[in-house]
Amino acid sequence: MRSDALPTGSGLPPVRALAADLGVSPATVAAAYRSLRQRGIVETAGRNGTRVRPRPAVSGERASRRIAVPPGVLDLVSGEPDPRLRPPLAAALAAVAAADAGGYATGGPLPELIDVARAAFAADGIDLDGAAFAVTGGALDGIERVLGAHLRPGDRVAVEDPGWANLLDLLAALGLRPHPVPVDRDGPTAAGLRTALAEGARAAVVTTRAHNPTGATVSAERAAVLRAVLTEHRDVLVIEDDHAAQLSAQPLHALAGATMSWAFIRSTSKPFGPDLRVALVAGDATTISRVRGRQSVGTGWVSTVLQRLVLALMTDPAVAMLVDDARDSYEQRRDALVAALVARGVPAVGRSGINVWVPLPDGDETATVARLRDAGYAVAPGALHRLASPPGVRITISHLDLDGVDALADAVADAVAGRPGRPGA
């Protein structure tokens, strides 16, 4: 596999067939396959057997796996918020500079930040009765720590399909097995979650709003149905990712408390900037105790200086107004692109957040991406996000201005139809 003699996507022989060819026991081959799964080199594809993963689970240089954006091509692939809409940090940094940075004895979650987080979560309708809090180095760090508090290699995790590419990589790196759950505009489907849990999933990761890549948002009706499913599996760990936070115009309908073990994770990266690696985590007391305990023998805590910076931003009314303006700008651009694509016969979706998903049920992702690049637009192939769902492409609108929507919609319509691109970036 490392020499590409078995290229990505290749199927491995059935266990018994390989055992017979090699003259070893089936248990030996099964153990070898299990080791490959735990290293993130192969994945189990249900009745389709075992195959080489299409993406590496762990990369020494993550930047090397980013899709290159050639000069003169508009970046609609990075997934980052619009740098023009980030709140300035000068005033908050000045406030932090005047404060005591603390030391070993005082390291840990900043009490003032936890108080603000508790009030914000409660205002969003999250039941915090008996909840505890932690602070982690971003949403993915929080998800990893919560998974590690309960699961072991080989355990199955229900994930949205299509879903967040980084999460799929993380599961492979941890030796966990993703179980795809279909997603529609209202979030993961109840039938898909029910099937995943019935087949042994020990955890479920749900994006509450601004789902990456489809823009889905868990509606009130869907949340009620998902809660009903989860109450039949009280021992399942439920992790909710609210990475968009204040940037989503959609109301929050959380699943927190539907099971005994849960965590609700809200990152600050989207509203305040990707380099602010802070996420606020609420959860049941056992889960949070395990997360904080593991932190204490590793990184220790998220920098108090960084926590104070986030606190200053969260409590500044002027920053709140800027975040509201950014939210409205994303809504306008995303909705305009979806409407323009639908008007051209392209069934695009994007209910919230900064991404638009263009399904390609009978299309070729690679060819579509190439045509759009030739037309001056870089978009993400859906293969980065998919397990069993049909093909598609993801378009991030962070760098797309309103006056460029129609030209992009024309280019997408041409690319999906297989027509040569018309330069428009």
pLDDT of residue 100: 75
Residues with Cβ within 8 Å of residue 326, at least 6 apart in sequence: 81, 82, 85, 86, 247, 271
From CA 44, how far away is CA 154, in angstroms rounded? 11
pLDDT of residue 330: 96
Residue 44 scores a pLDDT above 90:
no
Please state whether the peptide bond connecting residue 213 to the residue before it is cis, i.e. omega within 30 degrees of 0: yes
From CA 195, how far away is CA 8, in angstroms rounded? 28
pLDDT of residue 55: 61
Residue bearing tokens 């949205």: 160
Residue type, 41: I
Residue 60 scores a pLDDT above 60:
no
Report which of 268, 277, 216, 275 is spatially closest to residue 243, judged by C-alpha positions.
268
From CA 230, how far away is CA 215, in angstroms rounded? 23
Q: In what order do the strands lie in the sheet with 177-184?
A: 131-136, 279-284, 261-267, 237-241, 203-207, 156-161, 177-184, 187-188
What is the distance, to the nearest Å, from the Cα of residue 284 to the centroid of all Cα atoms in its chain?
22
DSSP 328-385: HHHHHHHHHHHHHHHHTT---B-SSSSEEEEE-TTS-HHHHHHHHHHHTEE-EEGGGT
pLDDT of residue 3: 72
From CA 102, how far away is CA 169, in angstroms rounded? 35
Beta bridge partners of 267: 279
**Half-sphere exposure of 226 toward its Cβ, with a 13 Å CA cutoff?**
30
pLDDT of residue 64: 36
The pLDDT tens digits for 370-421 are 999 999 999 999 988 999 999 999 999 999 999 999 999 999 999 998 876 5
For 130, 272, 353, 392, the CA distances from 80, given in Å and listed in that order, are 35, 11, 11, 19
pLDDT of residue 47: 65
Per DSSP bridges, beta strands 279-284 and 355-359 are unpaired
From CA 128, how far away is CA 304, in angstroms rounded? 24
Q: Which of 34-48, 131-145, 180-194, 383-397 is predicted with the least confidence, judged by mean pLDDT?
A: 34-48
Residue 10 scores a pLDDT above 90:
no
Residue bearing tokens 């057997």: 49
For 91, 94, 272, the CA distances from 98, given in Å and listed in that order, are 11, 7, 21
pLDDT of residue 302: 94
The dihedrals phi and psi of 333, each to the nearest 5 degrees, come to -70, -45
The dihedrals phi and psi of 422, each to the nearest 5 degrees, come to -110, 115
Residue type, 373: R
CB atoms within 10 A of CB 165: 20
Residue bearing tokens 């930040």: 113
3-class SS at 105? helix
3-class SS at 175? coil
Looking at every residue in the chain, the average pLDDT score rounds to: 91
State the pLDDT confidence band at 63, using cuts at 50, 70 and 90.
very low
Averaged pLDDT for residues 241-250:
92
Helix 165-173 and helix 139-150, axial crossing angle in degrees, nearest 10: 40
Total residues belonging to the chain: 425
pLDDT of residue 46: 62
Residue 70 scores a pLDDT above 90:
no
Residue 61 scores a pLDDT above 70:
no
DSSP annotation of 419: P
Residue 160 scores a pLDDT above 90:
yes
3-state DSSP percent of the chain in helix, strand and coil, to 5? 45, 15, 40
Beta bridge partners of 378: 75
Domains recognised in the chain with CATH numbers: 15-52 (no CATH), 66-85+319-417 (3.90.1150.10), 90-315 (3.40.640.10)
